[in-house]
Amino acid sequence: MSTLPTMSEYLRRPTTQRVTEDAQVTPLELFFDLVFVYALTQTTALMASNVSVEGHLPAFLTLAAAVAVLTVLVVVELWRDSGERYEIRHA
């Protein structure tokens, strides 16, 4: 019976994984990738519409928000995947 790894164990484990034949990408992952690419294209369009420092500031803030959301989604997805491999006991 395994438990969730500690933060130091989690950070020490290899960052690459062997891809197997049965590895699949979920539709939710593809959807979030599509949303991020759309946000990136809209941000570049916002930057192109006003080529000045004042015009680029909202674009940079939009890009920072998109990257922050993507980071949270990646962390949640990694946590969800680790929960499938380890038994999670609730108190």
Summarize pLDDT for 11-30 with one digit per residue, the tens: 666 666 666 666 677 787 78
Q: Is the residue at 1 inside a domain?
A: no
Best CA proximity match to 36, nearest among 86, 81, 88, 74? 74
Q: Is the residue at 46 inside a domain?
A: yes
Q: Is the residue at 63 inside a domain?
A: yes
Please give the residue range of the domain that contains residue 34.
Answer: 7-13+25-85
**pTM exceeding the 0.75 threshold for the entire prediction:** no
d(CA 6, CA 4): 7
**Count of domains observed in the chain:** 1
- Encode burial over 13-32: b for 16+ CB neighbours within 10 A, e otherwise: eeeeeeeeeeeeeeeeeeeb
Best CA proximity match to 41, nearest among 58, 59, 57? 59
- Per-residue pLDDT at 71: 87
Q: Is the residue at 29 inside a domain?
A: yes
- 8 A C-beta contact, residue 69 and residue 38: no
pLDDT tens column, 17-63: 666 666 677 787 788 888 888 888 988 888 888 888 887 888 888 88
Q: Is the residue at 56 inside a domain?
A: yes
Q: Is the residue at 2 inside a domain?
A: no
